[in-house]
Structure 1
Amino acid sequence: MLNLVHLKVLAAVARHGSVTGAAKELHYSQPSVSHHLSRLEAATGVRLVQRVGRGIRLTPEGRLLANRAAEILGRVDAATTELAAQVGLQSGRVRLAANASTLSTIVPRAALSLAQAYPGLELSLFERHPVEALEMLRLGEIDVALVFRHADDPIGDEEFRLLHIGNDSIYLISQRPNDTLANHRHSAWIGGCDRCQAELNAVCQHHGFTPRIASHSDDMVVVQAFVAAGIGVSTLPGYALQAHRHPGIHATELTGFERQIHAATYGDPPDPPAVAAVLAALAEAASQCREANDRVADLDKQT
């Protein structure tokens, strides 16, 4: 069975006469383009491209299919545009996955504004860590993944399109106000998921030590309860503290360590109208949450 993505890759290779040109147009990696071509050859049972020196050219069968692919893709694009114009935002469903801290802060604000502006739009939500959310996006199980990363942390796949909607500060969570990491070189620490623990390790190692992980929890409520009980110390993002704040803990902002929050989509632009509306609502909600995030440290100073 022919796949539209594979046909799109073949049509791009035909237009540019090279894998490199097709990769640039589609914002794919070169290995990804070659992979799609191989899958298409396997599906059709014929050779579609052949190497010529350092480049490639289409076989007669490849040229035939590329011409038909251009026609098919043009008709699909036209049908999509016509349908979007007909349906608009009166109905539709957008599936979104996010981790707990953003799912309990940014997403509810966005959902409220969407419900007011587009009452016919259905928003389906899933709690997932970034790696899982991106895999769901790749498989077509969701339409938008709300993920976090750091400036030097590659997303891992050029086929994702990222909309940077804001940053999230990281805080030291302990029983003392205005605390420092230096006070906890020998303390017991509470670790979380692999991604969060890597973040914790990076923060501590930047200050010259490796944290001794004595307890583990992915739940921001449990982590704060552990800290309040004296079981250990930990780090949490500001959005987690917005979602839940235990009265027995103090939060000290760690400057220079911010998460970047991105709304990820998959495939070529433009986004369907419903997805575009969700992205706009997420960006606006993130801006509002950022203002609340700035008050997290101020709240700690008042306690």
Structure 2
Amino acid sequence: MDVQRLLIFREIARTRSIGGAARSLGWTQPAVSQHLRHLERQAGTPLVLRRPRGVQLTEAGQALLRHADAIAARMQAATEELEALVHLRAGTVRLAAFPSAGATVVPAAMSLLAQRHPHLDVRLREAEPPQALDLLAAGDVDVALTFGHAGERPAGTDEMVRMPIGEDPLRLVLPRSHPCAQPSDVPLHLRELAQDKWTGGCERCTDHLRQACESAGFTPDIRHGTDDYVLTQALIARGLAVGLLPQLALDAARDPGVAVRPAAGVRPRVLYLVHHREADQIPAVRSAVQAVADIAARAGHMAASPATAAGGAWDPGSA
């Protein structure tokens, strides 16, 4: 049955007259009568009995009215739910982020999003960029926060939008007792550490470390491999290695036993927000992307704030 005709019939039943339904709907009385006739032909039986002062529902009309009421209620519920989603009074956005961003950028962005849209449900999954993109392609998340090293071929497909939101500088991390530990604000060339033992990170980060060292004229002696930046710093603090860590990892957790120096000639990695091309039309996704981008902008290309340099919590508002 035609839903519009069911709703017209419901209005006839509510007003108890064809004329009343016409006035309520803003239609002409003949148009309402015609829709009623079509509906009765579909039903195969009269739905109303015409009376001098209006109409009376037949038993079939009363049965159909119950279904028409249910349909009207569901349509109203659908309208209200869609309005809530459009105006961000409800909705869910699923975000995947790599660990150091998940410990710094994302909580600040989630807090900002909660201030702007308190009823929006944001759900986080930790995943390195390749896994995050797989989750995005499979539809398991809506937005992926990823990174790319300088010279690396961008990941993703033509159906995805990759928006650069900032840079994450790479720092040389040394034991405080290391001869090159000072001065901390002067860039240090990788070749100065050619004789040291190294610790690598995730597979992509270790590959980038190896390439950067080879460009500096040596092959690094990589003794350890872990994507846990707390463990990496613990190894370095005890004099077991040196390493190349992103600033975000140091912002998330800084071991007091390490010294940090800028890495001369090493370009920062770029942070990207990735989502399906059509997803920016979804209010919840668009708002989440904006919140993460705003936090990245406040952080000043992810440079360490005075609080993080002193070992405090990462606060993008102070950057």
Q: TM-score range by the shorter chain?
A: 0.5 to 0.7
Residue in 2 that maps onto 1:159: 159
Asked if 2 retains the 8 angstrom alpha-carbon contact of 1:89 and 1:273, the reply is: yes
- Of 167, 172, 177, the residue aligned with 2:182 is 177
Q: Given that residues 180 and 252 in structure 1 are in contact (C-alpha distance below 8 angstroms), is that contact kept between their aligned partners in structure 2?
A: no
Report what 2:229 is aligned to.
Answer: 220
Rounded to whole Å, the distance in 2 between the matches of 1:116 and 1:86 is: 17
Letter of the structure 1 residue corresponding to residue 303 of structure 2: N
* Alignment pair present for 1:107 and 2:116: no
Contact 1:84 1:273 in 2 (8 A): no
Letter in 1 for 2:272: H
Is 1:209 matched with 2:218? Answer: yes
Name the CA distance, whole Å, in 1 between partners of 2:105 and 2:92.
19
User: Could you tell me which residue of structure 2 aligns to residue 246 of structure 1?
Assistant: 255
Q: Counterpart of 2:276?
A: 266
C-alpha contact 1:90 1:118 (8 A) present in aligned 2 = yes
CA distances 1:248-286 after superposition (whole Å, capped 9, x unpaired): 111111244111101000142543000000001001111
Distance (whole Å) between structure 2 residues aligned to residue 134 and residue 196 of structure 1? 17
> What corresponds to 1:117 in structure 2?
116
> How far does residue 130 in structure 1 lie from its aligned partner after superposition?
0.2
Cα distance, 1:177 vs structure 2:
2.5
Extract unaligned runs of 5+ from structure 1: 1-79
Q: CA deviation at 1:239?
A: 0.6
Contact 1:105 / 1:289 at 8 angstroms: preserved in 2? no
Distance 2:171 2:238 in 1: 18
Matching residue of 2:128: 129
Instruction: State the Cα distance separating 1:117 from its structure 2 match.
Output: 1.3
Deviation, 1:245, is: 0.7
| Alignment match, 1:168 | 168
Q: Which has the larger radius of gyration?
A: 2
Q: For residues 275 and 81 of structure 1, do their structure 2 counterparts lie closer, same or farther at Cα, with a shift above 3 Å needed?
A: farther
Q: 1:143 — aligned with what?
A: 142
Q: Which one of the candidate residues 260, 280, 286 is aligned to 1:276?
A: 286
Residue 295 (structure 1) shift: 4.2
- Are the counterparts in 2 of residues 98 and 128 from structure 1 also a CA contact under 8 Å? yes
Deviation at 1:242, TM superposition (A): 0.6
Deviation of 1:187 after TM superposition, in Å, equals: 1.1
Deviation at 1:288, TM superposition (A): 2.5
- Tell me whether 207-216 or 177-186 shows the greater mean CA deviation: 177-186
8 Å Cα contact 2:150-2:267 kept in structure 1? no
Secondary structure, counterpart of 2:268 in structure 1: strand
2-structure distance, mates of 1:244, 1:83? 42
Q: Relative to structure 1, is the Cα distance of residues 84 and 286 closer, same or farther in structure 2, using a 3 angstrom cutoff?
A: farther
Equivalent in the alignment of 2:97: 98
Query: 1:168–1:290: 8 Å Cα contact kept in structure 2?
Result: no
Distance of aligned partners of 1:291 and 1:132 in 2 relative to their CA distance in 1, 3 Å threshold: closer
**8 Å contact kept, 1:91–1:120:** yes
Question: 2:201 aligns to what?
Answer: 192
Distance, in Å, in 2 between the alignment partners of 1:81 and 1:289 is: 40
Q: Which runs of 5+ in 2 are unaligned?
A: 1-77, 176-180, 311-319
Offset at residue 86 of structure 1 (A): 4.8
Q: Structure 2-normalised TM-score?
A: 0.64
Are the counterparts in 2 of residues 172 and 236 from structure 1 also a CA contact under 8 Å?
A: yes
Counterpart residue identity of residue 193, structure 1: C
CA 1:149–1:84: 2 relative to 1, 3 Å: farther
Q: CA deviation at 1:150?
A: 2.9
Provide the TM-score with structure 1 as the length reference: 0.67
Deviations along 1:101-154, one digit per CA (max 9) or x if unpaired, are 111111011011111111111111111100000000000000000000134322
Question: What is the RMSD of the two structures over their aligned residues, measured on CA atoms?
Answer: 2.5
Larger displacement relative to structure 2 (83-92 or 180-189): 83-92
- Percent of pairs identical after alignment? 34
Tell me how far apart the structure 2 counterparts of residues 291 and 135 of structure 1 sit (CA, whole Å): 26
CA distance change for structure 1 residues 127 and 268 in 2, over 3 Å: closer, same or farther? same
The offset of 1:189, in angstroms, is 0.5
